Structure 1
Amino acid sequence: ICTTRIVAGVGVPQVSAIANVASALMGSGIPLIADGGIRYSGDIAKAIAAGASTVMVGSLLAGTDEAPGEVELFQGRAYKSYRGMGSLGAMAQREGSSDRYFQDASAGAEKLVPEGVEGRVPCKGPLSGIVHQMMGGLRAAMGYTGCASIED
């Protein structure tokens, strides 16, 4: 759950970022991984169409049976905890992600400037159902646009 654009005031919309990087990488053989903004199968299709080789789908898979974390009951519903790598909890861990955000975790948690938040996501059941829906949406997008393969 990223808040970098809010905290740092830096960033561009995800599809624009993918298209810009894909253009810069053209012909280099370096794969482009879209990270962020993927909520629906259509977002995967747009990322691939914009030039991504693959996508990160952490928030889509959070809350599945296979995702790590304890199930918490809140107001009669089941949830799992979810946090972005830029969250205070992730950066403050001994082997945390603070170096990824150019911050010194040894200075103490009060000195860290988080670029992500922690939250709860509803339990979603087995991973297989989510993956099936994402694949179905991507296949539908490919059919509507006349693409026989991802490369198309």
Structure 2
Amino acid sequence: SPATSRRARGVRDLCALGVDGLRVGIGAGSICTTRVVAGIGVPQFTAVHDCCREAAELGVPTIADGGIRSSGDIVKALAAGANTVMLGNMFAGCEESPGEIEIYRNRAYKVYRGMGSVGAMKSGSSDRYMQIKEAGGTIVPEGVEGRVPFKGPLHETMEQLVGGLRSGMGYVGAANLSALAREPEFVRITNAGLRESHPHDVWITKEPPNYTAPYSTSDSD
């Protein structure tokens, strides 16, 4: 399609400049508002699928940045052609992350803010979003500030992510990452299919460490 060709051309143009790698994704992050504020961005899977395979033909590695909410998303990003993934939200609640711990409704959370949030821009990230620093100038944020549940040590989260990746590779018989991305089959699903992909028709009383319910199936509140 013309849109796919434009994304491929963008990859070729950047690779022609001699870049060492490409980071793919705009506006897919959990705390990013770029797609709403600036109207810019492509659905993350589409961006990864189109850009990463073009870059692979040119021998340039790629990073899928944004939209990763589970280990299954990592499997799909790598199968779509990315060489690696970049995670923010999934690590933000870990003990080693820089956010401060807050207690809300008797539960521990960590503060999490995007580089495009007001707080981060005031701290010096405004140049990243091409905003000229002027005394008294208006900041136009492209991200929000919030909190995420405290998860404990980083190694526990990493073990779950790596375990999920290994499980996904095992299901499709991929002995390595190259095999995972060789000839993947992706299926478009409906909202009904999405719902049945998650636990359903049950009240979750104890969530496992590698899953958070997206629907109102938990009585944790």
TM-score of the alignment, normalized to the shorter chain, above 0.5: yes
Where do 5+ consecutive residues of structure 1 fail to align? none
Per the alignment, in what secondary structure is the counterpart of residue 134 of structure 2?
helix
Aligned to 1:86: 116
Distance 2:157 2:133 in 1: 35
Greater than 2 Å deviation, 4+ residue runs = 26-29, 105-108
Could you list the runs of 5+ residues in structure 2 that have no partner in the other structure? 1-30, 180-221
Contact 1:64 1:127 in 2 (8 A): yes
AA paired with 2:53? S
Shift of 1:107: 4.4
Return the letter of the residue paired with 1:146: G
1:19-57, CA deviations, whole angstroms, 9 ceiling, x for partnerless residues?
Answer: 111133133222111110001000101110111111111
**How high is the sequence identity, in percent, across the aligned residues?**
60
Aligned residue-pair number: 149
Equivalent position amino acid for 2:63 in 1: I
Which residues of 2 match residues 62-141 of structure 1 at below 5 A?
A: 62-93=92-123, 96-108=124-136, 111-141=138-168
Alignment partner, residue 51 of structure 1? 81
Equivalent residue number for residue 13 of structure 1: 43
Q: What does 1:23-34 correspond to in 2, within 5 Å?
A: 23-34=53-64
- Deviating more after overlay: 98-107 vs 119-128: 98-107
Q: Highest relative contact order (Cα 8 Å, sep 6+), 1 or 2?
A: 1
* TM norm structure 2: 0.64
Give the TM-score normalised by structure 1.
Answer: 0.91
**Which amino acid in the other structure matches residue 159 of structure 2?**
H
Q: Which has the larger radius of gyration?
A: 2
2:100 maps to a residue whose letter is E
* Matches of 2:74 and 2:140, distance apart in 1: 30
Structure 2 residue identity aligned to 1:135: V
Give the deviation of 1:70 after TM superposition: 2.0
